[in-house]
A and B are shown apart, each in its own frame.
Chain A
């Protein structure tokens, strides 16, 4: 038994190292590939040059602009969003003790989208354009508030004297999503041609809008949410046995619940404000880790943190290169790959998976 305990620990560490290494490689490859290809060796030189370590190197001006102003902010954003979405999905699945939960299902994404759409349409009358700096500061705030409000509503619907009725909660999510969708349609009614086009991209996900400015407020918020969510590994393990059982084992269940809801709303809300809604990452990544390895949240959460960015970087790479020089919306790629894969997982595990209302 002692041998097995040690093996578990080593295996967890090994999985995380391998995922980390894969993430690093895919990140470098993504930096290098695109409409302008920058050889990896040039990437290194550019980095060293920026650090003042390799001053004899004369960087290619085009490479430098592409790397610093376009590709790097985009990839940093992709990594942060992938991590935030996958980690949120993992934490919510653990909290609701249901492997089918994802941020979209409990209203976070649609609430955040609605708030952003409202900001874009009605912000125009306050001369706020999408490129302006005040807009890039306001958007995460709006998205977060909208996401939090929607999730809070869903939680309230599913709340049964302090305990959560899972079936009602998920149906509540469907209702809130429908309501947000309808309101969005109503707001879009007031949109002009240009804004309309933007929304299409918004609902399909778009990583192309990344600038260092847009990351200024969003990145610290995402990092904060990620760190906070990572701290719930042990309480989430206890909650896997049931909320009452977790309480008996010394977990402040209500406090944990509220914190996780708050930080997933923050993570997903801010992600939506940056890139629109990107589906399936939050659902598939933690699920995949459970199926491939194990369900212990001491692996699932950190592995989601690495696996989410890995998947999203790959999807983004495909979106940028498959129809080059044009670009596919990222949400289309994640759904095209994610949905069939998810169906496969469902069929494979359908005997074990049940919607329960404890």
Chain B
């Protein structure tokens, strides 16, 4: 697992994270939610080792993260950004292939991995297409295929993918596609940590959940247990109602309309 213990991080004198402890378990979908500026992205950057000047300790599968070379680290964890801005015309296959640069397997193995992830993400038919001509949702699927290819190993030890609001600019159907694919990856001994803004998607997909606010964890645990009205209201300072889907018993939230005018007043003040 990825274990982050007592992480504190300040940049330019501003405290972004205060004593945060997070575990990412292989085979599970862990979500981070919280208001803007809560330190979610900073935490993700600590876990991916992009930030390395923090207090506390991060380990992957029991080894301290700073003791792992960047190349080795890339085989253990991959990161899917919100969106990518590519300036040059690469084909879809060339993009997915980038995830395999550090794997010294033979050509047949490489091709088998590429084939598998591209089939899985449903982009095999686009292999020759120019990435820049794809829609946002399609591009994100290609990026997901690249990220999966990066940690796709036959040898079975735990690997992780970290996602920073991977569906923020996608329509509802594409959002479902991406999260279903990510969830599916959990079955391959891959641990998922995702920052998710849409709380209904958190409820639908996450096994574990961390609520972050002002750099601290305000609640953590099993999604079913902590996805409750009081915790969400405390985290977001916003009135909500939590209901349950009668078919699946999955919780969902609706903002409380009756308090809307008062929250608007707070904003204007």
Chain B residues, Cβ within 8 Å of A252: 70
Q: Which residues of A contact B114 (CB under 8 A)?
A: 1, 5
Measured CB to CB, the closest approach of chain B to A297, in angstroms, equals 9
Name the segment of B88-96, B188-196, B254-262 touching the other chain: B88-96
Q: Which of A18-26, A67-75, A239-247, A266-274 contacts B (4 or more CB under 8 A)?
A: A239-247
Which of B16-24, B71-79, B232-240 lies at the interface?
B71-79
The residue from B84, B102, B127 contacting A241, defined by CB atoms under 8 A apart: B84
- Contacting residues of chain B (76-129) with chain A, CB-CB under 8 angstroms: 77-79, 81, 84-91, 93-95, 98-99, 101-102, 111, 114-115, 118, 124, 127-128
The yes or no answer to B1 lying at the interface (CB within 8 A) is no
B50 close to A (CB within 8 Å): yes
- Contact at B91–A249, with CB atoms within 8 Å? no
A1 to B93, Cβ gap below 8 A? yes
A244 adjacent to B99 (CB under 8 Å): no
Contacts of B94 in A (CB 8 A): 8, 237, 294, 296
Q: Tell whether, in the assembled complex, residue A241 and residue B132 are in contact, meaning their CB atoms are under 8 Å apart.
A: no
A79 CB, min distance to chain B CBs, angstroms = 27
Q: Nearest chain-A residue to B132 (Cβ)?
A: A352
Q: Which residue on B lies nearest to A9, using beta carbons?
A: B107
Verify B98–A98 contact, CB threshold 8 A.
Answer: no
> Which of B84, B93, B102, B124 makes the CB contact (< 8 A) with A250?
B102
A235-265 vs B, Cβ < 8 Å mask (1 yes, 0 no): 0011011101101111110000000000000
List residues of chain B with CB within 8 A of the CB of A245: 79, 81, 84
User: Is B150 among interface residues, defined by CB-CB distance under 8 A?
Assistant: yes
The answer to whether B50 touches A241 (Cβ under 8 A) is: no
Chain A residues with Cβ below 8 Å from B167 are none
Which of B94, B114, B124 is the most central at the interface, judged by chain A CB atoms within 10 Å of its CB? B94
CA distance A251 to B115 in the complex (A): 24
Number of interface residues of A (CB under 8 A): 32
Report yes or no: A240 in contact with B85, Cβ–Cβ below 8 A. no
State whether B50 touches A99 (Cβ < 8 A).
no
Whether a CB of chain B sits under 8 angstroms from the CB of A295 is yes
Nearest residue, chain A, Cβ from B74: A250
Partner of B73, one of A238, A250, A356: A250
For A99, the chain B residues whose CB sits under 8 A away are 87-88
Q: Tell me whether A343 is interfacial, beta carbon within 8 Å.
A: no
Determine if B84 and A295 form an interchain contact, defined as CB atoms under 8 angstroms apart.
Answer: no
Q: Cβ of B93 and Cβ of A248 under 8 Å apart?
A: no
Contact: B88 with A290, CB < 8 Å? yes
- Give the residues from 210 to 240 in chain A that come closer than 8 angstroms, CB to CB, to chain B: 234, 237-238, 240
B48 interfacial by beta-carbon distance below 8 Å: yes
Say how far B132's CB is from chain A's closest CB, in angstroms: 7
Q: Are A4 and B93 in contact (CB under 8 A)?
A: yes
The B163-208 residues at the A interface (CB cut-off 8 A) are: none
Provide the bound-state CA to CA distance between A245 and B86, in Å.
11
* Assembly CA distance A17 to B218 (angstroms): 62
Known A-B contacts A1-B93, A4-B93; the reply to A240 vs B111 at CB < 8 A is no
Establish whether residues B150 and A249, one from each chain, have CB atoms under 8 Å apart when the complex forms.
Answer: yes
Rounded to whole angstroms, the CA-CA distance of A242 and B90 in the bound complex is 14
**For A251, what are the chain B residues with a Cβ–Cβ distance below 8 Å?**
70
Which of A5, A97, A251, A352 has the largest number of chain B CB atoms within 10 A?
A5
Q: Which residue of B lies closest to A3 (CB)?
A: B127
Q: Is A358 an interface residue (CB 8 A)?
A: yes
Please state if B87 and A247 are interface contacts (CB–CB under 8 Å). Answer: no
Question: Provided the pairs A237-B101, A249-B102, A352-B132 are in contact, do residues A2 and B115 lie with their beta carbons within 8 angstroms?
Answer: yes
Known: A241-B86, A249-B150. 18 other contacts (CB 8 A): A1-B93, A4-B93, A237-B94, A238-B98, A241-B95, A242-B85, A244-B79, A245-B79, A248-B48, A248-B78, A248-B79, A249-B74, A250-B74, A250-B102, A290-B89, A295-B90, A353-B87, A356-B85
13 A-B residue pairs with Cβ-Cβ distance under 8 Å, sorted by A, are: A8-B91, A8-B93, A238-B101, A240-B86, A241-B95, A245-B79, A247-B50, A249-B98, A250-B75, A290-B88, A294-B89, A294-B90, A295-B88
Interface residues of B (CB under 8 A from A): 48, 50, 70-75, 77-79, 81, 84-91, 93-95, 98-99, 101-102, 111, 114-115, 118, 124, 127-128, 132, 150
Minimum-distance CB pairs A-B, first 6: A250-B74, A295-B88, A248-B79, A250-B71, A1-B127, A250-B102
